[in-house]
Structure 1
Amino acid sequence: MELDPDRCYDAFTTHDARFDGRVFVGVSSTGIYCRPVCRVRTPRRTVCSFYVSAAAAEAAGFRPCLRCRPELAPGLSAMDASATLAHAAAGLIDAHLADDLSVTSLAGKVGITDRHLRRLFREQFGVAPADYLRTRRLLLAKRLLTDTALPVTEVAAAAGFGSLRALESAFQRNYRMVPSALRGKVRQMAGDGLHFTLAYRPPFDFARLIDFLAGRTILGVEQVAEGEYRRTVRLDGHRGWLRVRPGKTALVVTLSPSLSAVVPAVLAGVRRLFDLDADPLAVLQALGPLAEARPGLRLPGAFDGIEMAVRAVLGQQITVKAARTLAGRFAAAFGEPIETPWAELNTCFPSAERIADLSISQIAERGVISRRAEVIIALAAAVAEARLMLSPGAPVQETIAQLQALPGIGPWTAHYIAMRALAWPDAYPDGDYGVRAALGMCSTREARLQAEAWRPWRAYAVMHLWASLGEAEETPS
């Protein structure tokens, strides 16, 4: 991505929030890089250079500003095929910072070659994948040190450094400081939970988004109450809870201390669920009058891919309310009990491995017809055996084909899963009753043709069509 230096400097001098997360400003006189919204005294144009990512700024030798904190900048949404692949790989990195990642494994997950991934990363982020990974680990460690009371050894492990010594060495080499220098005088207590802010680009219609989620919460697993979203979490052997509430241009997220080892993956799940990397202005431009009444509408994602996919299968050709009831029964029967601060949240949704081991009769006893029980088991087995990936990093068309190859999953279900679990902005379940009703009860073919003008944001168009009817019924024809 090429940047116009003059335009970038204008954005920096005016603190233009539209450029936040898209441009980072390196100041050679201080060796520091900032976000465009930083309120420090504006440096001269001659000492400023501009970068498409924090990783590119750090690769050029700059250290992050302690005032505007580049690690808090909003993320980016992809707008074309090449960008989609690069951002999918970047999303996998962000969700698995503590893992032993390689370019080969990343490329394999998004369905391209190592060489192609390196080229796309260079085009999108200005650095190689390894440089991006290093910066993301450093910035996460910086964030945990600044915002939490976690022991430095736990910070090192959560950010993927493996040891305290490795963390100290990286900080000294890249930031010219010791990690403990970021510890403030007042730090949150671990017993109170771990608190984070996740930025987004306004407008953001939080109320409408949690209203959508509220009608689809799985009893015992999720809850919307007192204007906030809550859920249980089961991730890589760790269990806990989280809560999300609105803040000023950011969501405020609290995690149970038991999730400290998997903070990157949990925060990545929240970003997916609330579609925090969306560019609402780009969507508005593409959808035009359809989106004008609801410019802050987001595309609800999925915190857990298998959970969302099972919920989608349970919801085939029945109402949203009936699907919610079935999903609650399913979770209560096969999930894991957990204690949380809220009595109503007491269950972790079962893992793909647990679901794959169930029999058709066990699921059918909970009011699920046998054919759908068979689909759920086959779906879970494909995920458990790593034959199917239900997250934004998955190759979209291949995943949709894999889903439709499973007995009982048709185009509507496959596209609905792609729309939410894969966060694919161009998914379009055109046989959906609500979509056709909003378009004047046209045929499925007419609905498909009408949607061509909304590419590559057809999934957002679906959300707007459902919203125009009131409560979305998301029922296929």
Structure 2
Amino acid sequence: MVKGRATAMHIYVRIRRDVPVGSPHIPPMSLDAETCHAACEAKDRRFDGRFYVGVTSTGIYCRCICPARTPKPQNRTFWPSAAAAEAAGFRPCLLCRPERAPGLAPIDAPARLAAAAYARIEAGALEEQGLEALADGLGVTSRHLRRVMNAQFGASPIEIAQTGRLLAARRLLNETALPVTEIAFAAGFRSLRRFNATMKDRYGAPPSKMRGRKTIARGETFTVSLSPRGDYNIASIAEFLRTRALPGVELGGAKTYARTLKMGDALGWIEIGMGPKGLMLTLSENLAPHLRPLVANVRGAFDLDAEMTAVDAHLSTDAGLAKDIKREPGVRIPGALNGFETAIRAVLGQQVTVAGARTLTDRLVTKFGATLERGPEGLNRAFPDAPTLANAGAAAIAKIGLPLKRAETLHRLAVTSSSGKLPLDRGAIASGRAALAEIAGIGPWTIEYVAMRALGDPDAYPATDIALINALGRKGETLEHLKPWRGYAAIRLWRRGAKKGIRP
């Protein structure tokens, strides 16, 4: 018997009677046993990542889409998260790879809080700060956060972080040629001894015995797969990013996006695009130690976990958007891989065209950005970080062609960010908005734009944006009837305006 494993059918899900079985959108904690069994039998991709199947006859847990033979109903147990399944003693399946499953799309307030905390934990928040600081950044007490996380995922924040470290290590062991020592620290373990002991205790074997059978040669790059929720329309996000791409920093294609990126002290590059097995992330090897937060960042920036069936259904209640959605479903929000960069570019974009903002930003990168020595053709510069701009001073920043007041706003933003008082991580919606509002020169449009793209607020809506006003044909419209997904409406309206030559 697997240590700690449930010996009887365990349905760790809260049944809600207001959501019909078979609904196109069923929140993860609304699933009942009947729905879970049906999803397993059909290997229904709509439910991938919403719950996990613990198989009592083998001691492993799987995604509901696992290609292996479907276990007998009496051998199935259902868990709301990988962490809950592992806490019960189940080991991850080597075929369906639970570490590759899409994340969860939150609906109600507790679920949004839990999802925001989950995303930040996956990005390594608990390795960098304690639970109290994480909860404070989310605007709640640590006790409330633990209660919500347990209710939503069946596991505590600490257990979720531990499972995240283990699953990240498994991915690195199976998909890279990195030495075990580097993998230990990349996954978030503080010592090799602790890493070896935890892996052996949880999975019954040391890391050295868990390498994939396929030999992987160590090179300058490596690629991992990413599983989006539902069909993925990469073209819409790629177009948004391509029209704003900075020379030397970003490269945009019809269905690809590449850029330079700094993680910790490592300056490298990444590329996201569609491959034969779905969405693929390629990164320079020097970013490998940061794979776990990087994957979490990319998932958020490319909106991979959005429940687009529900979003599109809600937006379709607006007659003006219904035709757009029918013609092009699944338009997601292009997020940000660097929150500070997005905030700086938003200030530079105040009251100017996209082309004008890009020109100013190009000058800023030329003057203050670092050089990438070994990148692919077309990627050779990095966006300046907060300490660099903070040390430069407003007068130096103004020399790129900015009014001094605008340069002072950029400088204040950089100083506040480098001091740690400006949270621009995905999920820090309340604290990030509040901190931005305290900076002189930052107005409602900038706050909403940054909240949408950097903080991950799906309801952010810059109502004063001229392109949105032109697309709607009227001023003062805040689209209250489209809450809590007005951000998706904004993206669609911007796309509509772009086709007419009007860009935000």
TM-score normalised per structure 1: 0.95
With over 3 angstroms needed to count, the CA separation of the structure-2 counterparts of 1:454 and 1:248, relative to structure 1, is farther
Alignment match, 2:455:
422
Alignment match, 2:234:
206
In 2, distance between residues paired with 1:120 and 1:247? 37
Mapped contact 1:269–1:303 kept (Cα < 8 A): yes
Q: Are residues 1:78 and 2:106 paired?
A: yes
Deviations 1:133-187 (A, max 9, x none): 1111110000000111010111111111223322221122111122223322333
AA aligned to 1:40 is A
With over 3 angstroms needed to count, the CA separation of the structure-2 counterparts of 1:36 and 1:128, relative to structure 1, is same
Alignment match, 1:338:
372
Deviations 1:310-347 (A, max 9, x none): 01100111111111111111111101111233342111
With over 3 angstroms needed to count, the CA separation of the structure-2 counterparts of 1:195 and 1:229, relative to structure 1, is same
In 2, distance between residues paired with 1:119 and 1:400? 25
Secondary structure of 2:470's partner?
Answer: helix
Q: Out of 376-385 and 248-257, give the one that drifted further.
A: 248-257
AA aligned to 2:441 is G
Secondary structure of 2:392's partner?
Answer: coil
Q: Out of 396-405 and 372-381, give the one that drifted further.
A: 396-405
Alignment match, 2:405:
371
Q: Following TM superposition, by how much is the alpha carbon of 1:98 offset from its aligned partner in structure 2, in angstroms? A: 8.3
Alignment match, 2:331:
297
Mapped contact 1:202–1:249 kept (Cα < 8 A): no
Alignment match, 1:432:
465
In 2, distance between residues paired with 1:218 and 1:277? 27
In 2, distance between residues paired with 1:79 and 1:474? 30
Q: Are residues 1:19 and 2:40 paired?
A: no
Deviations 1:246-305 (A, max 9, x none): 135742111111112211122222112211111111101211115332222110111011
Q: Out of 187-196 and 64-73, give the one that drifted further.
A: 187-196
Alignment match, 1:453:
481
1:168 to 196, 200, 214: 196
In 2, distance between residues paired with 1:468 and 1:225? 20
Alignment of 1:171-186 (within 5 A): 171-186=199-214
Q: Following TM superposition, by how much is the alpha carbon of 1:190 offset from its aligned partner in structure 2, in angstroms? A: 2.7
Mapped contact 1:244–1:253 kept (Cα < 8 A): yes
AA aligned to 2:379 is L
The size of the alignment, in residue pairs, is 469
Q: Following TM superposition, by how much is the alpha carbon of 1:209 offset from its aligned partner in structure 2, in angstroms? A: 0.9
Alignment match, 1:442:
474
AA aligned to 2:263 is L
AA aligned to 2:361 is A
In 1, distance between residues paired with 2:297 and 2:196? 28
In 2, distance between residues paired with 1:233 and 1:332? 16
AA aligned to 2:204 is R
In 2, distance between residues paired with 1:83 and 1:42? 30
Q: Are residues 1:157 and 2:185 paired?
A: yes
Mapped contact 1:15–1:38 kept (Cα < 8 A): yes
Give unpaired runs (5+ residues) of structure 1.
Answer: none
In 2, distance between residues paired with 1:140 and 1:124? 22
In 1, distance between residues paired with 2:155 and 2:498? 45
Q: Following TM superposition, by how much is the alpha carbon of 1:237 offset from its aligned partner in structure 2, in angstroms? A: 1.2
In 1, distance between residues paired with 2:365 and 2:297? 19
1:411 to 421, 444, 448: 444
With over 3 angstroms needed to count, the CA separation of the structure-2 counterparts of 1:98 and 1:423, relative to structure 1, is closer
Mapped contact 2:139–2:431 kept (Cα < 8 A): no
In 2, distance between residues paired with 1:364 and 1:432? 25
Mapped contact 2:102–2:305 kept (Cα < 8 A): yes
Mapped contact 1:404–1:414 kept (Cα < 8 A): yes
Mapped contact 1:203–1:295 kept (Cα < 8 A): no
Alignment match, 2:25:
none
2:162 to 124, 127, 134: 134
Q: Following TM superposition, by how much is the alpha carbon of 1:100 offset from its aligned partner in structure 2, in angstroms? A: 4.8
Secondary structure of 1:261's partner?
Answer: helix
Alignment of 1:117-128 (within 5 A): 117-128=145-156
Alignment match, 1:311:
345
Q: Are residues 1:60 and 2:88 paired?
A: yes
Q: Out of 170-179 and 126-135, give the one that drifted further.
A: 170-179
AA aligned to 1:385 is S
Secondary structure of 1:386's partner?
Answer: coil
Mapped contact 1:71–1:143 kept (Cα < 8 A): yes
AA aligned to 1:379 is L
Alignment match, 1:255:
283
Give unpaired runs (5+ residues) of structure 2.
Answer: 1-12, 15-30, 317-321
Q: Following TM superposition, by how much is the alpha carbon of 1:460 offset from its aligned partner in structure 2, in angstroms? A: 0.3
In 2, distance between residues paired with 1:430 and 1:100? 36
In 1, distance between residues paired with 2:131 and 2:277? 34
In 1, distance between residues paired with 2:430 and 2:123? 22
In 1, distance between residues paired with 2:271 and 2:215? 19
Secondary structure of 1:403's partner?
Answer: helix
Q: Out of 261-270 and 420-429, give the one that drifted further.
A: 261-270
TM-score normalised per structure 2: 0.90
